[in-house]
Amino acid sequence: FGSIPMGTKELSAHDVQNAMEEGDYQYINLLFADMGGRLRCMEEHASQVGSLLTHGVGVDGSSVPGYAHSVERSDVIIDPSKDLDTFSVLNISGETRAHMLCRVLGSDFKPHPGCPRTILANVVDKARRMGFEPYMMSELEFYVVDGQGNPVDNAAYLDMEPEDVAVPFRHELVDSMTRAGLKVKRVHHECGPGQNEVELQLTPALKNADDTLMGMWLTRLVAKKYGWSATFSPKPITQVPGNGLHQHILLRDRNGKNIFAGGMGDKLSLLAHQFVAGMIKYARDITAVFARSLESFERLKPGFESPAFATWDFLNRSALVRIPLISPGAEDKTRVEYRGGDAAGSPHLMCAAILAAGLKGIEDKLVCPPNMGGGVEHLTHKELEERGIQPLPRSVRACVAVLQESQFLEEALGSHGIDFLIRTSPEWGFDMRGKQTPVPLGVRGRTLSITEYPPPAPSS
């Protein structure tokens, strides 16, 4: 592993070139995100570093989701020049490789409207114009399964060895993440069999989304070393909890002060209430961005601590937006948690939608609805309407309708982003004629051999 992990200091092009030469690295991997939420890579020989740091590298955008519709106008540029501090060195399968995260430019050398990192960066820029620096942190939930698709253990929440067999795996994973510059807060076994969680620390919003995508990739790599597979799929196994991708959000002012702390009777500031109000108002829009799989809707049902309605509350883990408990004297850590998201789509687009919704709440001075103060699953449709509580979208059709009508998302993601999400709807079980198509639950790209847990007992 190299001595310059990602994001530890402001690096110059000269620093990167020196690191490549001193480490005698043969290749540098230029990483970028597609709009579907996958990490892509162009491997460049070390001899090209000087040129690529200045001019970038051209790639075929028509072969990457979100960048070009046809081969006639397919050239895009992956540009590492704005993200030099993402330089990192990793040892993968015994080979030492240098990596950098890039943004994508169009054939006109302007920021490409389909680059998820640029879309999130634009929302961050809006926050800064409003006087805020946004910080976020992800909770990465995933199942670890063996070669037959079965969970590697039957452990429960916070179980220890020997029931929890993934302790060495998690420790090696955190070591890999840390060396890549990710900031890990804690790890543990989650509620489902073979389910684990890695919780990151609060970092600037763009770095958090970058780390989330990088962390998911590293998780799959380390799991493969153990002969396992790791899936972040929202609901890979029925009858047990799904995989969320919860986001914690905190805003600081130009002096570094947490603007969510204090000021009102419930210890949340007025700006915090407005931010929450924005996330509640645009909850359906946010869902339409991240719910890129039929499994998303299987997860977003009452039970298993998954939110099904646009509500907020203190401590309540069934609420869409939760205010975590803060110890006396630690008010600077006051934050909000969005619990609806999952990893079926792009973490960058999801984070952009969440952050934009909260900022819109502050911008429009929205009035926060009352906190739910308990579960709402028992309420009738009429009672929900009387309280102004909206259900989250429960189908692909509902999400497509939101995407087609949302002026908020048009502003946050741009028309290119909206068009992509609508145009690729067949990928998530909805064809162009409006007919829903069956999609099996399972790991992305293959179906798990188990669709319920525990498996049925063998017949005698």
**For residue range 131-159, what is the model confidence (pLDDT) as tens digits?**
999 999 999 999 999 999 999 999 999 99
- Write down the pLDDT at residue 355: 98
Please choose, from the candidates 170, 337, 346, 150, the residue with its C-alpha nearest in 3D space to the C-alpha of residue 240. Answer: 150
For residue 359, pLDDT over 80 is answered with yes
Interval 377-404: pLDDT, tens: 778 888 888 888 999 999 989 999 999 9
Distance CA 131, CA 437 (A): 46
- The residue-averaged pLDDT of 350-377 equals 92
Min mean pLDDT across 222-226, 332-336, 430-434 is at 430-434
Q: What is the mean pLDDT of the chain?
A: 87
Q: What is the pTM of this model?
A: 0.90
Residues β-bridged to residue 103: 79
Task: pLDDT band for 439, please (50, 70, 90 cuts).
Answer: very low
Planar angle of CA 13, 216, 447, nearest 5 degrees: 140
Can you tell me which residue has the tokens 């002012």? 253
Phi-psi group of 68: left, alpha or beta (phi > 0 → left; psi -120 to 50 → alpha; rest → beta): beta
Distance CA 417, CA 86 (A): 25
Query: What's CA 191's distance to the chain center, in Å?
Result: 20
Take residue 456 and report the two structure tokens written for it.
Answer: 């049925």
For residue 329, pLDDT over 50 is answered with yes
Task: pLDDT band for 70, please (50, 70, 90 cuts).
Answer: low
- Write down the pLDDT at residue 72: 56
- The residue-averaged pLDDT of 49-54 equals 91
Task: Give me the DSSP letters along 344-401.
Answer: SS-HHHHHHHHHHHHHHHHHTTPPPPPP--S--TTS-HHHHHHTTPPBPP-SHHHHHH
Can you tell me which residue has the tokens 């998690």? 170
Distance CA 300, CA 303 (A): 9
In 3-state terms the chain splits into helix, strand, coil percentages (rounded to 5) of: 35, 20, 45
392 touches 340 (CB < 8 A): yes
- The residue-averaged pLDDT of 103-122 equals 95
